[in-house]
Structure 1
Amino acid sequence: MNLVETRLAKLARNGDRGAFEELVNLYKDKIFHLAYRMLGNKQEAEDAVQDTFLRVYNNLDRYDENQKFSTWIFRIGTNLCIDRLRKRKPTYSLDAEMPDSEGNDFYAMLASKDELPEDQIVLSETQQVIRRAIQTLPEKYKSVVILRYLHDMSLQEIGDVLGMPVTTVKTRVHRGREYLRKKLDTDANFSL
């Protein structure tokens, strides 16, 4: 458990705006990345971040100091994104272009220092295919796959964030990965 975050949460609960601002600064990018990956839309992700911090601020008195703050805030952010996804009507095409993620690609760090321009094009196309495939995941798999592979959370942490048993998380990660594997195999002859 991070004692600094717990201390900041206590101070914020008692009206210290500077402490709350520090919490926002610690988590705004992480929550944005989570929301962007779940929602696939920059504006919606920014709105989800604002909603997350508004909900955190309004519910600081409910924060259990025996729990990791990161788990609590990720649960709030994830649940808000899931709510937004549920309210959506399926108006997007499975092969629609994803908006550019403005440098937030998790595969960008895989690039070699000696990369040739044609390799960069292939990597960029691969990233787009994977992003599109993640967006097609059923809602119940999307959140666990994003938390596991894009936020590098353990199965236990995901279980804590989503409020479900680790066995359920493990099953959903496996099924989500299989869904992606099939999607990528049929769409672009990629393999995970």
Structure 2
Amino acid sequence: MNTQIQEIWTDLYQELKKFILSKVKDINATEDILQDVFVKFQLNIHTLTDCTKLTAWVYQITRNTIADHYRKTNLDVKIDGFDLAEQHIEEPLYHSLSNCINQKINMLPDKYQQAILLTYLNDYSQLELAEKLNISYSGAKTRVQRGREKLKDLILDCPNVETDNKGNLIAYEPPKK
């Protein structure tokens, strides 16, 4: 297996496993779905044209594979309160918001970008982050907090984001094309 593909998969494996298990609530089905996702990932990685959208692309494959699992088992179920059919209606909004957030993360200074990505996407604890970056625990906490604040400011500064009177995000309108 290509070393880069193996590294990407290693980074995503636990995160995807948790995601799938939260949707199907069955460890055996989770393992099967995860294996199917990996096969699709490996067979189709060459079709990915924008590397910055790798995580969103893998999650789309994962959601589709979960939907396929339910179709194969002929279960008329809802996942987290949404019918599978409703999930497709939600996708463009999810992708727009996901792309917006990814762009905002990319705008952060490197040290904050790294802290956000490692803690939120790779599920590092702040203590693990401190060890990985060879900084103090309090330094890691500060870096995550400042990164989170900077990211929040960037997101709330978007004209297509609506906030309440306390500055909390309450709605997102995808950009008009």
TM-score, length-scaled by structure 2: 0.49
Bigger share in strand: 2
Of structures 1 and 2, the one scoring higher in RCO (CA 8 A, sep 6+) is 1
